[in-house]
Structure 1
């Protein structure tokens, strides 16, 4: 069997596995690489050279630098300015989406979105609006902004490196800017003027106060004398229940202690503030002997009432046989007591009404979205040991715009899930960063280090200047900047390693040799010949449009980096077949591979907003399809203008 046929079989199986989604894309890519080695398509001694490829190193360095921006206080500076725009939706969209377009050009576009996502959520809440109207334009804006520079998105880095292997000269830092900036501005104008009207507005307001109105889900449970919970620690209580039901607070002697910080044993009369539905309530009563706290309050009220009635009877007997004047005085005294009793009852009634909703103030609740690179993906709260290792209680989970009703310990987390968590204020930021979660809203949670803002900007600017003046190759300049970022303390070393998206690095390192096999086996030439035969009677621009559409469709069903890796050899073969410059064909792949607007799985930015925005899978194409057409209509003429077919 010919090598080209074997390559097509491997790639066909790889693409099918990507679309199926049963296995993570990095595992699929690694399987494709090892399969290619076993079939003799990739020499064994060259199997892992892709992991040292400049494109892989550059992507890793950009991810570290982007995380440094997140930690340096950029979000606080931006939020302060963005929140001044007021209630006008047009201005909100302009400032948010425009800002993410600019930021995505100077840092990884997923990192730029991560900076502005909490700002957008806060803006929506302050104006009591659905976040869905802001988040999809924000995600698409991050994709558009990534088109403008070399480091904005992985496809640009891949295409730049591939051009170097073909022509001996890489695309530079701002080689993408003329085409990318024009396309980004056209896309931004479309979103602001027309596109936002195509975004579904979810009435559920996923991840807003309405989604996690905790007072409607929390109950107060009392530890009685005969309760099994009496004398148990909270950890022992969880083991007794064989269920993860968060204890948010323990009330003892009118003092409330946060559940994650309570390490003593429960005593009679303790009130537990817990997240519990009807099924959990029955479990708590059967296995732990806990009952609603309000029953205890009613018992006390009953006792007080009985005492008051006894005192009233004694007072009535003492007044018998008194003189008229004394009777009158007694009546007045009784009326006074009756008035006081009424005042007490009114006061109790008022207090009872005020306590109809459970007070959650001061519980340090935070909402966070699970990132695509989170260690929580496909794992449960039990497997993560969320409380023991990270000091966090999971209170609730929202997915696809609705709160999940299944038991918390049964939930396997997915990218885009919105979590309601409780934890200590000082540990929240570090725990969320370690888990790979992006905070959306919290009380008194400081994320940035403003004093390091200028330092991180200076480091990045030095790297850009080194690239512009050809002092250092892009991979070396950005790696040096990432190293300095870690050395000066902008980013802790542990977070630096966490910032490197392992699955993306494995995907790139594994697929680069497979993409080269597509070229060396003649597979890319065969596809190019088929496209040349199809377009032989048409102008070259028609074939360029076909390449653009094919790459754009592919990027919506597989990772955009994988799409760029697979399409780059085909683009080069097409250019050779037409005896034209390779630049316009490679630039067409760079733009189209980065414009995955049709599905939530085509790009991490789309996945990241799915949960907070309450979007469904089919919501993306409603704005994404017309935006894709706008991008293509603007990009093709600009590519031919800036990068002519004949040099």
Structure 2
């Protein structure tokens, strides 16, 4: 096959696609920032160098912003809010109670029941809130039985992704592939059009995750609490002869190597001095600070003062106590307002009543350094923070969406609005499934119904949206449009055909799905899906085969995000909560990926007679 180079605009877009894939795979660069870079480069590039296609249509720079109004993005955003409505109203509370009770009777059968329920719910609801709901239940089971949660959390996290493959609304990836394919002239996929191959794959995955996967996972524990010291609040009282008396607060902090964090200075009954650096310390001053036992004693020694807890001097008979305080692990959720915020700017103590002890993260392992050394760390989804707080403050956290408290308690919401939220969600699904309204429109009406019936407030609805998801979808749609309109997709399809010249169509189909699976485990699955869809349709046209199986190959391949923890946001959440290592995902996820690839390729080949 004589393969010519693409035109200059197509070549530039292909290079930008490569750059985008590199940016999307970089942990240090926020996904939303990478997406905005792609959008800006596309818009500026085509504004400075206009392009007119062979059909005479000009590709304008403003066309790349159409993704903000694309039906797929509207549907994805609306479904996120609908899922939040189910969680907030307690509509899924009976499911959580059922699973929590069943685990006490038969753990093995309960794992199967949990996998089935999780897969079923994920076919209609975004899997993130489902995983967030199930994690405390499963951790609670592990704590009560004295076992490691590692044999349960990873299978549940992976089955939630697989369940989402079954319907057009199961994941944002599905909605994007279906939407882009429809834009390119492929017949609109209805909600259950590909449920048969997805169900066959789900059954195979279910058996694997139930019977085999738990035996492949080593016992893991999150090594935070065992090696971190509790924090105590105390006062250092200065005497006439103390080394810090007569010196400034800045001098006192310097004498403690900068580790002393002064909360307040008490100068007599009811008299407090603002702790500014130039304040001169006097005899009788009480400096309030919070730190570990050893550090507090060291500070008192360096400043020449005495350590007090309340009105009692600290000694062997009166040790330091952290009254009404407990240590807990909290995970940053994918919808948290703290995503992308530096720990030093998160105001964990003033906003949430949390004192940070340590951080556990996928890329850096366990970081048990003091919180003062973590101020510049940017928080990411799935980060597990070891914190100290009061039971009341932790109870408030459980009702919000910023943190997932990993204390093993089952604290599911239950409100009178639960039946209403459930009815609204069911109506959205039924109306879309029957073809009465497109899912984008029915989901928007569903969101309106949640707000009107006060199942959700506007603040709660907006907290369900993820700027990362919105920006990656818009940027991916823009890249897909540029690939289609400039001929870049056709050229990539020709390269694919040239590399597989002479092989049967089903081999090309399987190769496309495997390529998407490899891509989705490195970069965003939404980006892989939108970039792969125009290539799949062009492949089908050049092979003179139906486009549907090739579109589904992209859809399924982009959902096979099992082999790395970075492949999907719930993977990171599960990884840190369960104390998994990177190799655990490879050990369990890679065989599952190849197993489902074979099943889905065979199923699509048989169904479409390729």
Query: Quick check: TM above 0.5?
Result: yes
Q: Which range moved further: 510-519 or 400-409? A: 400-409
2:230 corresponds to 1:217 = yes
Higher helix share: 1
**1:219-265: CA deviations, max 9, x gaps?**
575654649999xxxxxx99998668799xxxxxxxxxxxxxxxxxx
Query: Taking structure 1 as reference, are residues 15 and 127 closer, same or farther at Cα in structure 2, changes over 3 Å only?
Result: same
Kept after mapping to 2: 8 A contact 1:132/1:614: yes
Kept after mapping to 2: 8 A contact 1:223/1:229: no
Distance 1:379 1:574 in 2: 43
Distance 2:228 2:176 in 1: 50
2:545 corresponds to 1:580 = yes
**1:283-325: CA deviations, max 9, x gaps?**
4653594638699475769xxxxxxxxxxxxxxxxxxxxxxxx
What displacement does 1:440 show?
A: 2.0
- 1:449 is aligned to 414
The structure that has the greater radius of gyration is: 1
- 1:379 is aligned to 341
Distance 2:182 2:217 in 1: 40
- 2:515 is aligned to 550
Kept after mapping to 2: 8 A contact 1:218/1:273: no
Kept after mapping to 2: 8 A contact 1:275/1:395: no
Aligned with 1:394: secondary structure?
strand
- 2:402 is aligned to 436
- 2:38 is aligned to 32
Distance 1:409 1:487 in 2: 45
* Partner residue of 2:204 out of 178, 183, 186: 186
**Matched residues, number:** 559
What displacement does 1:486 show?
A: 2.2
Query: Taking structure 1 as reference, are residues 381 and 358 closer, same or farther at Cα in structure 2, changes over 3 Å only?
Result: same
Query: Taking structure 1 as reference, are residues 602 and 215 closer, same or farther at Cα in structure 2, changes over 3 Å only?
Result: closer
2:16 corresponds to 1:10 = yes
Kept after mapping to 1: 8 A contact 2:394/2:405: no
Equivalences for 1:282-301 in 2 at 5 Å? 282-283=298-299, 285-286=301-302, 289=305, 291=307, 296=313
Q: Which range moved further: 47-56 or 415-424? A: 415-424
- 2:382 is aligned to 416
Query: Taking structure 1 as reference, are residues 393 and 458 closer, same or farther at Cα in structure 2, changes over 3 Å only?
Result: same
What displacement does 1:176 show?
A: 2.9
2:38 corresponds to 1:20 = no
Kept after mapping to 1: 8 A contact 2:381/2:569: no
Query: Taking structure 1 as reference, are residues 521 and 421 closer, same or farther at Cα in structure 2, changes over 3 Å only?
Result: same
Query: Taking structure 1 as reference, are residues 417 and 540 closer, same or farther at Cα in structure 2, changes over 3 Å only?
Result: same
What displacement does 1:643 show?
A: 4.1
Distance 2:570 2:228 in 1: 32
Distance 2:381 2:20 in 1: 22
5+ long unaligned stretches in structure 2? 1-6, 52-58, 246-251, 264-282
Distance 2:107 2:343 in 1: 38
2:89 corresponds to 1:72 = yes
Aligned with 2:359: secondary structure?
strand
**1:100-142: CA deviations, max 9, x gaps?**
1111112002222111111111111111111222211111111
Kept after mapping to 1: 8 A contact 2:354/2:389: yes
**1:199-233: CA deviations, max 9, x gaps?**
2322xx217xxx43699634575654649999xxx
- 1:591 is aligned to 556
Equivalences for 1:529-540 in 2 at 5 Å? 529-540=494-505
Kept after mapping to 2: 8 A contact 1:511/1:562: yes
- 1:335 is aligned to none
What displacement does 1:57 show?
A: 0.5
Distance 1:35 1:297 in 2: 63
Equivalences for 1:254-403 in 2 at 5 Å? 275-276=291-292, 278-279=294-295, 282-283=298-299, 285-286=301-302, 289=305, 291=307, 296=313, 362-363=324-325, 366-400=328-362
Q: CA RMSD in A?
A: 3.5
What displacement does 1:61 show?
A: 0.6
Distance 2:304 2:574 in 1: 40
What displacement does 1:45 show?
A: 2.5
